[in-house]
Structure 1
Amino acid sequence: MDGTLRYWRAEGQSFFQRFLLWADALDPLLLLKSPNEIQRTRLLMQINEKSEPIQNNQTKQAFLLSLSSVHPDTDKIIPILFRPPAFMPITLPLVIVSSVQHQAKHSFFWQFVFHTYTTAFTLVNGNGTPKAEGYSLQQKQLFLGLGAISYSACIGALPLAFSNRYALKSPLMQLFVKKLLPAPLLGLMSAFTVAIVRSPEFDNGIEVMDRNGNVIGVSKKAGEKAVMETALSRAVLFGTTFFLPEVLMYFVQRARFVKNPRALGPVRMFVIMSVLAGMLPVSFSMFPQCGEIKRADLEPEILTSTEETEFFYNRGI
C-alpha cells in the first residue's frame, strides 16, 4: 500500500479529519515545489512508513506535499496542471465565465473547455487498471472522454438554446431556465463525465488490498464503488457551486445590499469564489480517499486467497 494511502487510513477516518487534510493539501503554494523536493518527501515517507499517526511537523508536511503531488496508484508525480491544488485556480474562471453567458454557442464553448479540463483531471487522478485487449486503454478513455465532454457541453447549453429559441417572456420561466436549471445540469454532467471516463474501472476492476497493504486481487465491485463515490462528490461540488451563488445573489439584489449595479459583477465573482473554495475540500472529503469494502461485497474468486474481512482501495479524485 502506498504511503499516502496509509496516511489516509491513519489520519483520515472522519469527515472532519479529511476536510482539514484537504484544506492544507489544496494550498496552491504547493504547486511551486520542484520535482526534487517532491522526491525527497517520498523518501521521508518511506522512512516513516511504519510509524504511528504522524506527530512530527516536518514529516506531516512531507505527507501533505505527497498528497498534493503524487499519484498513490502509480507513484508518479502528477503533471502540475492536474494536481489537486491547481483544480480551483483553473476551474474558477471557467465556472464564472460559464455562469454569465447569454448565448447558447458561447455557453457551449466555455462548458466544453470546462468539461475538458475536469475530465482530464479525473483521468489523471483515477485508478490505474489492467490493459484492455486489442487496443490501448488510454485510447479508449480518451475516446470516451471526448464523447462525454461533447455531450455534457451540449446539455449544459440546452437551457439557453431553449430560452433563446422560444423567447420566454414569463419571469418565472426565465428564472427557472436561466438561473435554476443550469446548476443541477452541471452537477449531473460533471458526475456523468467522471463515470464515463473511469468506466474501465467497472470493466477491468481495481486493486484491493488487505490491512497490511498487500494486494490480494482486482475487483470490479471496488472499481464501481470508487467511481460512484467520486462521481457523486463531483456532482455535489459543481451543482452547489452553480446553485448557491444564484440564491445568494438573488437575496443580495432583493435586499439592495449593493447600491451600485456595476458592483454586482465583482460581488458575484467573490461569492462564486467563496463557495467553490469552501465546497472543494468538502466534496473531496465526502468519502475516504483510502476506501474500504467489506468481504461480503467482493467477488468470490478474490476471497479464496485470504481470510481477511476488510479490504481497501484507492478511490481516486
Structure 2
Amino acid sequence: MESNNIMQEKLNNSLPLFNGVSKKFDDSTFWGRFQNFRDVTDPSTLFCSKAQLEQSQKLLEDFKKGLVDPTVSNLQLWNAKKNVDAIIHPDTGKSIFLPFRMSAFLPINVVICAGLILPNASIGTTIFWQWVNQSYNIALNHANRNASNQMTNKQILNAYLSAVGISCSLAVGLGYAVDKLSNSYIKNPNVIKGLKMMVPFTAVTSAGIANVLIMRRNETVNGIDVRDKDGNVYGKSKVAGREAVYKVAFSRAATSFPALLLPNIVMTLFEKLKFVQNYPKVKMPLNLAVIGVIFNTSLPAAIAMFPQESVISVDNLEPEFKNLKDKNGNPITELIYNKGL
C-alpha cells in the first residue's frame, strides 16, 4: 500500500501542473502530440462508467470556477481530462458511442486486421472482411468528424456504399491480378508472397482514403467552423475544411501501413522458431499480439502527425477572413479549426 502511494506521488509530481487549458504534453511537437493521443486512444478509458465520466466533467467544471477541493491531486485532474477527451466529442459536447471512440480502435482493429490478412482467403472471405473494415471505418469517421457540418442520412448511405464498393473491388481485383501473375509470369514464391502481402494493404489504404474523402465531403464543400484562440467563431471556411479532410486521410493511410505490412514480416521471423514450428496453433494468437503491439504505437503516431486543433493563417483562407480584428481591435492573423480524428 505504501509503495503504491509512493508511485502515485511520483507520477503526480512528474506531470505538468494542470491549468485547465494546456495539454498535458507540448502539442506543438510530434512527440508531445503522440503522448497526448496515447491518452485519447488508451483502451482503458473504455471502462470509464457514466458515473465516473460525470464525476470527471464536474471536477473539470469546478476547477474552472475555482471550486476544486484542495485535497484533489494534480494526477486526479489530468485523469479527469483524459476521460473527457477520450469520450466527449469536442464539437457536440456529447458522448461518442463506445465502439466508435478512438480508444476502441485498437482492440476492434486487431480482430479486423487478423481477418484481412488471413492466408489463402476465398473471395467471399476477402469481401466479408473488407466490408466489416469499411463499415467500421465509416462509423468511426462519422463519430469523430468535425461536427460543425452535418450530413444527411442519404449522404451517409452514399458514402458508405461508395467506400465498401471501392474496398471490395480493389481487394478482389488485386487478388485476382496477383493470382494471374503467379500462374503465368512470376514463378519466384517469395515475390508472389510479397505481392499477396501488398493486396490487403493497398486495398485498405486506398479505400480508407476514399472513405474519409467521401464521408467528410460536406466539410470540403460547405466548410467548417474557424475560430480565434478565445473560441469566437468567425464563420465556415472551405479551405480549412479541405485541409482538415486531407490531413485525416493521410493519417488513415499512415495507420494502415505498419498494421498490415509489419505483422507478416514479423510472423515470417517467428515461424522460423522451433517452438512455433512444433506448436503451429500459437501462430494466430501470436499474430494478434503482434498486430496489437504495432497498433498501440502506429495509431497515436499517425494521428499525431497533425494537431487536432490546427492553426491556419488567414492569408490562406477566403477573403472574408482577411481583415478580422479581435476584441481589443488587433488584427487576427491566425484562426483555429478542429480537424477531427
Settle same-fold status: TM greater than 0.5.
yes
The partner residue of 2:255 within 212, 223, 237 is 237
For 1:1-317, list aligned pairs within 5 A.
6-8=21-23, 11-49=26-64, 56-101=74-119, 102-130=121-149, 137-164=152-179, 168=183, 170=187, 171-253=189-271, 258-260=276-278, 262=280, 263-306=282-325, 307-317=331-341
Q: Which amino acid aligns with 1:107?
A: T
Alignment match, 2:14: none
Give CA deviations for 1:217-250 in whole Å, capped at 9, x if unaligned.
2111111111111111111111221011122223
Q: Which has the larger radius of gyration?
A: 2
Counterpart-to-counterpart distance in 2, 1:17 and 1:68: 17
Counterpart amino acid of residue 161 in structure 1: Y
CA displacement, residues 99-157 of structure 1 (integer Å, 9 cap, x when unaligned): 115212211111111110011101111012445xxxx6343133222221222122123
Alpha-carbon distance between aligned partners in 2 of 1:31 and 1:49, rounded to the nearest angstrom: 26
Structure 1 vs Structure 2: percent identity of aligned residues? 29
Q: Is the 8 A contact 1:186 1:239 kept in 2?
A: no
Q: How far does residue 81 in structure 1 lie from its aligned partner after superposition? A: 1.2
- Tell me if structure 1 keeps the 8 A contact 2:25–2:32: no
Q: Is the 8 A contact 1:35 1:77 kept in 2?
A: no
Shift of the 49–146 alpha-carbon distance from structure 1 to 2, 3 Å rule, reads: farther
Q: The residue matched to 1:217 in structure 2 has which SS?
A: strand
CA–CA separation in structure 1 for the residues paired with 2:21 and 2:308: 10
Gaps in structure 1 of 5+ consecutive residues: none
- Partners in 1 of 2:65 and 2:298 — Cα distance? 33
Which string of whole-angstrom CA distances, capped at 9 and with x for unpartnered residues, describes residues 183-237 of structure 1? 2332222122111101110011111111212111211111111111111111111
One-letter code aligned to 1:274: V
Aligned residues: 306
1:252 positional shift: 3.6
Contact (CA 8 Å) 2:267, 2:287: kept in 1 or not?
yes
* Contact 2:23-2:36 within 8 A present in 1 as well: no
SS at structure 2 position matched to 1:212? coil
Matched to 2:234, the amino acid is I
8 Å CA contact 2:314, 2:321 repeated in 1? no
Cα RMSD over matched residues? 2.5
Higher relative contact order (CA 8 A, sep 6+): 1
Q: Where does the alignment leave 5 or more consecutive residues of structure 2 unmatched?
A: 1-19, 67-72, 326-330
Q: TM-score, normalised by structure 2?
A: 0.81
> What is the TM-score normalised by the length of structure 1?
0.87
Instruction: Provide, for residues 4-41 of structure 1, a one-character-per-residue CA deviation record: whole Å limited to 9, x for no partner.
Output: x9544984222212222222332323122223332332
